[in-house]
Amino acid sequence: MSDAYCLSRIGVIMRAEKDNPHEAMGVLNPATARGPDGKLYLFARIVAAGNYSRIGIAEVLFDTQDNPVSVKRMGYALEPSESYERNARTAGCEDPRITFVEPLGYYVMTYTAFGPLGPRIALARSKDLMTWERIGPVKFAFMPQYGVDFDLYDNKDAYLFPQPVRDPHGRLALAMIHRPSNVQGGMLVVPHGVTETRASMWISYCDIEQAQRDPAKLLMWRDHHLLATPQEPWEQLKIGGGTPPILTKRGWLTIYHGVSGRIVEGADHQPFVCYSAGVLVLDRDDPRKVIYRSSRPILSPEVTEEKEGVVANVVFPTGVDVRAGGRVDVYYGMADFHIGVAKMQLPDS
């Protein structure tokens, strides 16, 4: 399986408009979703001066070969207006992912709300991708065996599974992958029984029936489990989630990111890091089980747009579009300034 997954670049899909002050610091890290009309829509993080982030809406346009080539901007899905999206320095609705959650019958957007305590996960929902209703900030149930309050961690890179999976008790549940930072109030605080101090990927669960009755119940997550930790040189600093899972013949496939290099403490934009992308395949019924994981990146910064930008040397996968014939298109941030797209051909078996 080692050579089964690879990405080939299609090109740059979206660039910041030079005369648009809302896009002064780039367009990046988009969610993608097919609407009820069958069209593909892209939800980019749109960054103004001062790291002020909105989430835009754009239609993806295709050429005669059915490859994505550009976008048509259509306004904004979310702008930071709530208290949990604003802080003393700036405000932000950042890095969205979108999943159509089948048991709920609507799209769920997970995004980073850059609020007064730092980055936290928040949710919004939509029936048609055009109109979005905030649900609110996510809450994590306290688990005594860990001895920590996950609500106090900086947390990013969250996304939901589209279908139910088995939780640790064997019951059908909704599942979410997320990436708490192990930092609380500027201090390193590691859950009991966890030896890895670097930021890693976790999975948590939510009751389906409660969420079906009341969308607010979708904010309550439990049974947290450490899913994956950094292990390869290209992941030496940390790892985090990327694209929402898609169900394949081998299990749930998600493309994640790994970070290597050196962190400068206190810097908003890191000058000495490298973000690359790899694959995780998770068990269909119990996604706590990792079936396959990339030993080497399937995409690393190589072209100019990936190597030069607000943060140099970044590929950051966040959007996925399942095409006909086993093709999967992956939309990703390029050096925190542009948006690119690459394609993958899934294995036949």
Per-residue confidence in pLDDT tens, the chain, 349 aa: 445 799 999 999 999 999 999 999 999 999 999 999 999 999 999 999 999 999 999 999 999 999 999 999 999 999 999 999 999 999 999 999 999 999 999 999 999 999 999 999 999 999 999 999 999 999 999 999 999 999 999 999 999 999 999 999 999 999 999 999 988 877 899 999 999 999 999 999 999 999 999 999 999 999 999 999 999 999 999 999 999 999 999 999 999 999 999 887 777 777 889 999 999 999 999 999 999 999 999 999 999 999 999 999 999 999 999 999 999 999 999 999 999 999 999 988 6
255 is a domain residue: yes
pLDDT of residue 70: 98
pLDDT of residue 293: 97
Measured from the Cβ of residue 293, the count of other Cβ atoms closer than 10 Å reads: 15
Say what the pTM is.
Answer: 0.96
30 is a domain residue: yes
| Range of the structural domain that residue 145 is part of | 8-345
pLDDT of residue 2: 45
Please give the helix or strand (H or E) that residue 306 lies within, else none.
helix 304-307
3 is a domain residue: no
Handedness of CA 268, 231, 326, 289 (dihedral sign): negative
Q: CA-CA distance, 100 to 107, in Å (whole number)? A: 4
What's the CATH code of the domain at 208? 2.115.10.20
1 is a domain residue: no
213 is a domain residue: yes
2 is a domain residue: no
Structural domains of the chain, count: 1
86 is a domain residue: yes
Q: Which two tokens stand for residue 320?
A: 């996925």
- What is the b/e burial string over 72-99, where b = at least 16 CB atoms within 10 angstroms of the residue's CB? ebeeebbbbebebbbbeebbbbbbbbbb
